[in-house]
Amino acid sequence: MIGVGSDTAILKVAKEVFVIESNAIMQLGSLLTSDFEDAINQIINCKGKVIISGMGKSGIIGKKIAATFASTGTSSFFMHPGEAYHGDLGMISPADIFVAISRSGETEEMLQLIPFLRENNNIIISITGEPGSTLAKNSHFHLNVHVDKEACPLQLAPTASTTATLAMGDALAVVLMKQRNFKQENFARLHPGGSLGKKLLTKVEDVMVADNLPIVKKEDDIKKVIQVITSSSLGQAVVVENNKISGIISDGDLRRAMTRSEESFFKIKAQDIMTINPKIISKGTMFSEAEELMLQNKINSLLVTDNGKLAGIVQIYGLNAKQVN
């Protein structure tokens, strides 16, 4: 077995890390100043992009913050300060806001960019743990992420400080989302490949069954109804008269009718067992709305209409027999 100490000692250390890092986050609220509000307003009114930069672990956190910004409505990208000093500064326009991350506020690679940023008229927002540092003093707005101690027992590896910085970045992103009234639909548009994007961008007409619909008339006998339902994989028949939907007949309707009317079952007509006023939805509706409607009503399909006429049937799966009436 590799390592020393009992499981209890191991878990104790892990819990100490959680306490230290959670305390670091909890105290951030007391460190907020008007600079946070001013930084938010500057970003809201920014005509360019928000460029995030940092060295080492701060850079890794910066990449995550930039990615969160970009996916939640704030145009942003990460720039390595070393690469910036060797040519990438040409990517920065005067309209851009520069967010510099440095735990000490004295990172050489960050400080050497200040003269250019000043000359280029860029707004500088710094995120450091030292309000009196060179970087903080040379920024337009400073966000304090000071921590009393790192989780690292040697007080060397950035741990609580990087957690605090990440939380500050999330605070910026969330406030910006609320200020911009950023909604699920906006998020989905920026994440078309994700499950949420597909769900929120998909319309009913994109997933409905539109061909060979199981249609019967009111006067059709039960044999015709059974034949139509059996030939379809949708488990139902739609009763249509004069291009208007009159009702719907499900497998359940057939079973219940057979139970009630064993001797006269084959004398039944479609209109005798159809459910009138079935749930319908327009083909241009978002599928997420259709899915919610089906879940609320404990049904697994909806009739889809186009200008009042039957256009298709949309279904969801995963509802068990107890959920579907």
Please spell the DSSP secondary structure of 189-234, one letter per residue.
HH-TTSHHHHHHH-BHHHH-B-SS--EE-TT-BHHHHHHHHHHSSS
One CATH from 3.40.50.620, 1.10.260.40, 3.10.580.10, 2.60.40.4070 for 214-277: 3.10.580.10
211 near 307, Cβ under 8 Å? no
Distance between CA atoms of residues 78 and 62, nearest Å: 7
pLDDT for the residue numbered 183:
75
The residue type found at 39 is: A
Distance between CA atoms of residues 35 and 128, nearest Å: 13
Strand segments, DSSP code E, in 47-105 are 50-54, 76-78, 97-101
Distance between CA atoms of residues 172 and 207, nearest Å: 38
Q: Which residues contact 224 (CB under 8 A, 6 or more apart)?
A: 216, 270
User: Is the sign of the CA dihedral 77, 81, 87, 92 positive or negative?
Assistant: positive
Q: What pLDDT digit, counting tens, does each position of 268-308 carry?
A: 898 999 989 888 899 988 888 888 888 888 888 899 999 88
pLDDT for the residue numbered 195:
55
Q: Residue 303: phi, psi to the nearest 5? A: -85, 135
Cα radius of gyration (the chain): 31
Question: pLDDT under 70 in the chain at which residues?
Answer: 1-6, 184-201, 317-325
CATH superfamily of 7-182: Glucose-6-phosphate isomerase like protein; domain 1 (3.40.50.10490)
282 near 310, Cβ under 8 Å? no
DSSP 237: E
pLDDT for the residue numbered 267:
85
Q: What pLDDT digit, counting tens, does each position of 78-97 carry?
A: 999 999 988 889 999 999 99
On whether the pTM is more than 0.75, the answer is no
pLDDT for the residue numbered 255:
86
Q: Give the residue among 273, 268, 320, 276 at the shortest CA–CA distance from 299.
A: 320
Strand segments, DSSP code E, in the chain are 50-54, 76-78, 97-101, 123-128, 141-144, 215-216, 236-241, 244-250, 275-276, 280-282, 301-306, 309-315
35 near 143, Cβ under 8 Å? yes
Helix (H) or strand (E) holding 114: helix 114-119
pLDDT for the residue numbered 319:
41
pLDDT for the residue numbered 118:
95
The residue type found at 94 is: P
One CATH from 1.10.287.3510, 3.40.50.300, 3.90.1280.20, 2.30.30.240 for 198-212+279-325: 3.90.1280.20
pLDDT for the residue numbered 320:
38
Going from N- to C-terminal start, the domains of the chain cover: 7-182, 198-212+279-325, 214-277
